[in-house]
Amino acid sequence: MALAAVFAALVLGLGISRPFSREQESLSAQYIVDVTHNGHWLIGRDFYGFLNRKPPLFTWFSAIVAGAAGGKTTEAGARAVSLAAALGAALVVLSWTGSQMGSAAAWLAFLFVLGSHGFASRAVFSSTDMLLSSLLFAAWCIAYPMFAAPARAVRAASEGAQLPDRPSVPYTRALWSGLLLGLAVLTKGPLALVLFALAAFIYLALVRRNPLGVLGQTWPWIILAAAVGVALLWYVPAILDQGKRLAAVIAAENLGHFLPAAAGGTGEAEQPFYYMSAKLIARALPLSVLFPALIAAIARGEVEPRARDPFLYQLGLAAAVLLFFSLGNTKRPDYIVPILPSLAVVFAALFTVCLQGRRTSWTPFLRDGAVVATTTIVAAGLAALWLTALRPEGARWLDVFGRSAGIDELSPLVRALGRFELPYVAFAAAAAAAAAMAWVAWSRRRALMMGAALALLGVSASALSNGALEPALAAKHTIKRFAARIHRRIGGAPLYIARGLRDFSEAGRIHESDDDLAFYYGRAIPPLRMAPLTGPAAEPPTIYLVATQRQLTHLRQLRYFRTRQLTCSHSVSAGGHPCLYELDRLTASSAVKAPAGLPARAPGR
């Protein structure tokens, strides 16, 4: 287990110190800064004074990490809790699968979850999704013996074993499951309880058991009471402290995101029903190629009887998460993460506990064909890219193609292969080895070797993505160095951004501030509309603005000020390169006052 933890940390922890390039991470880091420096442990705030819309467990753990690091919030510190949660989830996959399906399935499931693109990428991402996934999955696995007790009793009776007159009630196990579920509620809200209950209902339906019979037992109510009790330790004092303000935030984060705008929802990130399924296929790569084989195995019941219950149990959790978020109005790719640990267990079962002796079975054919085709295509594609990179015009042509197709990773991959950089060459070698393993397994009909080939491809891809591709993209898009240049240039002078803050209520407002720039600059940067653009003639004030060329062109049409460009960032963004401008305000008899409610400065880091 210790070696597995070290291996998982080496694969998932690569790139943990890369700079922030997505505002979700910078916003999360602002909450950590607030808790660490201002002591707002009950409810954190961002640099602009708005409440944290998520429960505080992730922020608490991250603030403890920051405190241990001397009080400074760094990129690695903000992501450390997600990495620890990912390691925990991977180890639970290994332990639980080994106890229910055997060691071969356990190690294969462990490697599968490490090799899932969506899981590995969120292991070093500062957000609540990985912590929620780990706690929910652990609570679900601990509760399995209680759900499966009737099936085990029937199986034992059929084998002639003597059963006790009154089976013992696992109070301790139910209590631990409830405590973990309560911590999951403190991570992302009552959503965890809903997913757990829906997963239980789906599993009981799959094994053809009446859910009402389960509710008549004691242990489900122990789980519920423990979870609610843990959650209320924060919800009660938080609502008493903030009152209707926090209640509105909680409603928006739960019912508001689930309901469509026509029914009173926020209308945020609205997507069609099939969106989550499409994202699951993308985020579960390369395991996604096994979905046809999985469907065939479920339809034909081709799982060994000893592993049927644990197989369906994990399938129930995966189906519950997918169904719930598919029905919800708000759909984001991050919502896929809780599916992936259970899905890794289910896919590992295809290579270890599926019935192999049926002549009419489609499962082995679909499974092995998908693995052979995937590993071969990846290995051949990398070889073609390497040959292209050796040609003088090859990388330039692929650079143009990558931009037009939206594939930012293509050009760095080609150039790195051409320069024989170690991470990329190692991935190409691993892909070639995976393809060779797959063909050998095909010829010898070795199912476990076939699974190992796919696991090798996935783990090597995760290591490449976290260790090389993501840091390269972050360096391309981040404004960390630009913020440092601004601070050296203007010090504490008034600084504004061209973007505005929409006048929504706090529960449903859309945060349009530049959180990346605010975090690295160390304070809130208000929008330009809040700046006093005119002032007394005796005071020739100068302010500074961060804007792209497109934004500045629009602002110049207002003719409120004269501008002079000072320095530009080399970061790539959709609106162009952001630059720092010096603005000379026009003189007038009175200044435009900024709206109340937005602090001029936020807590320093």
Contacts for 505 with CB less than 8 Å, ≥ 6 apart:
248
Q: What are phi and psi of 331, to 5 degrees?
A: -135, 125
pLDDT in tens, 520-544: 988 888 887 666 655 554 444 678 8
The pLDDT of residue 589 is 32
| The pLDDT of residue 548 | 82
Total-model pTM:
0.86
Per-residue confidence (pLDDT) for residue 534, from 0 to 100:
56
User: What's the pLDDT score for residue 582?
Assistant: 85
pLDDT, residue 595, reads: 35
β-bridge mates for residue 579, sequence order = 547, 568
The helix (H) or strand (E) run that includes residue 169 is none
The pLDDT of residue 533 is 55
* pLDDT tens-digit readout, 95-112: 999 999 999 999 999 999
* Low-confidence stretches of the chain (pLDDT beneath 50): 153-154, 156-158, 161, 163-167, 401-407, 500-512, 537-540, 557, 587-605
d(CA 159, CA 112): 34
Q: How far does the chain reach from its first CA to its final CA, in angstroms?
A: 38
Total Cβ atoms within 10 A of residue 273:
10
Q: What is the largest CA-CA distance in the chain?
A: 99
Q: Are 146 and 364 a contacting pair, CB within 8 Å?
A: no
Q: How far, in whole angstroms, is CA 594 from its chain's centroid? A: 37
pLDDT given for residue 263 in this prediction: 67
User: What is each CA distance from 151 to 148, 229, 316, 444, in whole angstroms?
Assistant: 5, 30, 16, 36
